[in-house]
Amino acid sequence: MVKRLFSILLALMLGLILYTLPSGKLLIPLLILPFISFALGGIFLALLGVFLVLKGYTNILGIFIIALSLLLLEITEMERAEAPKIHYVYAIIATFLSIPAYLFVLLVSQAGVGIEVTLLAIILAFLVYLFFRYSFK
Q: What is the pLDDT of residue 58?
A: 82
Q: What is the pLDDT of residue 102?
A: 80
Domain of residue 69, residue span? 2-135
Q: What is the pLDDT of residue 5?
A: 85
Please state the domain count of the chain.
1
Do residues 94 and 131 touch, judged by C-beta distance below 8 A? yes
pTM: 0.77
Local confidence band at 132 (pLDDT 50, 70, 90 cut-offs) = confident
Q: What is the pLDDT of residue 27?
A: 92
CA separation for the pair 69, 79 (Å, rounded): 15
